């Protein structure tokens, strides 16, 4: 084994205790191919942050999920007026973010969220009543300590780039697909008081004639849900190129040959490519 084969492709340090390889293309985009030529420090820090920017914040996450049929759990809608992130999914054309039916338990109020186009098909009053009915059934299943409660708790480590993220309770069903037995999720970041959340859900109601800021009705503009830094996206794409070269060239890969590109990826050093060149 040559000296370069024992060095990290990016920082040049020795490869010690590398238990998992760096994905040539981010795992979230469907790849399984890895290279064991990246040290843990590089893999778990800046390279990981660039991957997150690429697959969660940029428009690529919309295009990639269409091509690769990836649903994912990190699609967010954003309400600028309330500065709130909401749970969402990609629409059938994979071009816009649609809100799942949900309640965001913000400080002092509970914000009711739904997609306005979907609700129009069933009627707001009918939708609200059936949503509340199934939500209360899910809460009751927790109260009864059922073996498989219809409300489950999920702590998420990575927050969306924009918007506050208080606890929210939602169902992965469309507005016209609410039926008996559907499940709900409570997703949150940090610590929560589960009993307080259950109590708020039991007391929750909406005055449909005076909702004002208690409702988020969804968006139709796909760009409204996209917030990213183009230069970081370029660095992430260059990183993929370096990974591909390291994978194909194997032990013949030489860091010195690609030093400008590597410095651009790790430290945003140099001009790098421009958007017009991509």
pLDDT score recorded for residue 223 = 41
Does residue 42 contact residue 20 with C-beta atoms inside 8 Å?
no
CB atoms within 10 A of CB 107: 6
pLDDT score recorded for residue 92 = 65
Bridge partners for 78 per DSSP: 85
- Cα 136 from Cα 134, distance rounded (Å): 5
Residue-level pLDDT, tens digit, the chain, 278 residues: 455 568 899 999 888 777 678 889 887 776 788 898 898 888 888 898 888 777 765 666 555 554 544 444 567 888 878 888 888 887 766 566 788 999 999 987 889 998 888 888 888 899 999 999 999 999 999 999 999 999 999 998 878 877 899 999 999 998 888 888 899 999 999 999 999 999 999 999 887 776 554 566 664 444 444 455 778 888 888 999 999 999 999 889 998 999 999 999 998 887 666 555 44
Burial 27-47 (b: 16+ CB within 10 A, else e): ebbeeeebbebbbbebbeebb
């Amino acid at each position: 084994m040559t000296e370069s084969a024992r060095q990290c492709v990016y920082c040049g340090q020795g490869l010690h205790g590398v238990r998992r390889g760096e994905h040539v293309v981010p795992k979230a985009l469907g790849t399984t191919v890895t290279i064991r030529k990246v040290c843990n420090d590089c893999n778990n820090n800046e390279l990981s942050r660039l991957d997150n920017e690429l697959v969660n914040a940029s428009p690529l996450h919309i295009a990639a999920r269409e091509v690769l049929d990836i649903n994912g759990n990190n699609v967010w809608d954003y309400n600028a007026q309330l500065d709130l992130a909401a749970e969402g999914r990609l629409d059938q054309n994979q071009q816009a973010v649609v809100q799942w039916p949900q309640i965001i338990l913000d400080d002092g109020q509970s914000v009711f969220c739904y997609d306005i186009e979907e609700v129009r098909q069933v009627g707001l009053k009918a939708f609200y009543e059936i949503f509340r009915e199934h939500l209360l059934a899910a809460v009751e299943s927790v109260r009864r300590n059922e073996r498989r409660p219809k409300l489950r708790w999920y702590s998420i480590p990575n927050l969306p780039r924009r918007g506050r993220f208080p606890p929210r309770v939602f169902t992965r069903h469309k507005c016209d697909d609410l039926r008996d037995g559907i499940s709900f999720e409570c997703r949150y970041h940090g610590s929560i008081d589960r009993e307080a959340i259950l109590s708020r859900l039991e007391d929750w109601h909406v005055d449909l004639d005076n909702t004002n800021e208690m409702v988020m009705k969804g968006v139709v503009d796909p760009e409204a849900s996209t917030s990213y830094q183009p230069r970081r996206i370029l660095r992430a794409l260059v990183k993929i190129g370096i990974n591909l070269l390291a994978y194909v060239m194997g032990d013949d890969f030489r860091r010195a040959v690609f030093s400008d590109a590597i410095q651009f990826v790790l430290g945003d050093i140099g001009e790098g490519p421009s958007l017009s060149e991509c």
